[in-house]
Amino acid sequence: MQPHLSDVSIVDPELKQERKPVQTFNTVEDLQSCSVIDRLIAHRSSWTKLKLDVAWILRFITYLRNKVNARSTTKVGCIEVSELQLAETVILRHVQRQCFLAEFNEIAASKGKGK
């Protein structure tokens, strides 16, 4: 005999589904302000692990670009020291651009006037 829906309790823990918060973006600026690097910085408490995560992301981006451009050079295996150094540079530039946005804008404006 099959159970009927009326036999199932609403408070049954197997039926309850956990609600996950959904992040919505109202403008393009909101979307850009919540970058992948910002999320990783908030998620990782270790500088080494943060660099490693960014290095893997950069390797994946390189892989996708090579695939689109029909290049066959792809790195496999462990992350290399040069990739970790590039990841560190990317993280530092990102943080500097956030902290010194006014200075970056002034430099960009002065370069535009000089041309």
Contact assessment for residue 40 and residue 97, using Cβ atoms and an 8 Å cutoff: no
Report which of residues 87 and 30 the model is more confident about.
Answer: 87
Taking the C-alpha atoms of residue 41 and residue 53, their distance in angstroms, rounded to an integer, is: 10
Residue 93 domain-assigned (yes or no):
yes
Residue 7 domain-assigned (yes or no):
no
Angle at Cα 68 formed by Cα 64 and Cα 73, nearest 5°?
A: 65
Residue 35 domain-assigned (yes or no):
no
Say what the pLDDT of residue 28 is: 43
Tens digits of per-residue pLDDT, 56-93? 999 998 888 888 887 777 788 899 999 999 999 999 99
Tokens found for residue 80: 């290399």
Average pLDDT over residues 33-40: 78
Say what the pLDDT of residue 32 is: 45
Taking the C-alpha atoms of residue 56 and residue 74, their distance in angstroms, rounded to an integer, is: 13
The total of structural domains in the chain comes to 1
User: What is the average pLDDT score of the chain?
Assistant: 79
Contact assessment for residue 37 and residue 94, using Cβ atoms and an 8 Å cutoff: yes
In this predicted structure, the answer to whether residue 105 has a pLDDT above a threshold of 60 is: yes
Residue 12 domain-assigned (yes or no):
no
What's the farthest any 2 CA atoms get from each other in the chain? 84
Query: What number of other Cβ atoms are within 10 A of residue 110's Cβ?
Result: 9
Its domain, for residue 54, covers 47-115
Query: What number of other Cβ atoms are within 10 A of residue 74's Cβ?
Result: 10
Residue 65 domain-assigned (yes or no):
yes
Residue 27 domain-assigned (yes or no):
no
Report which of residues 29 and 8 the model is more confident about.
Answer: 8
Residue 78 domain-assigned (yes or no):
yes
Residue 6 domain-assigned (yes or no):
no
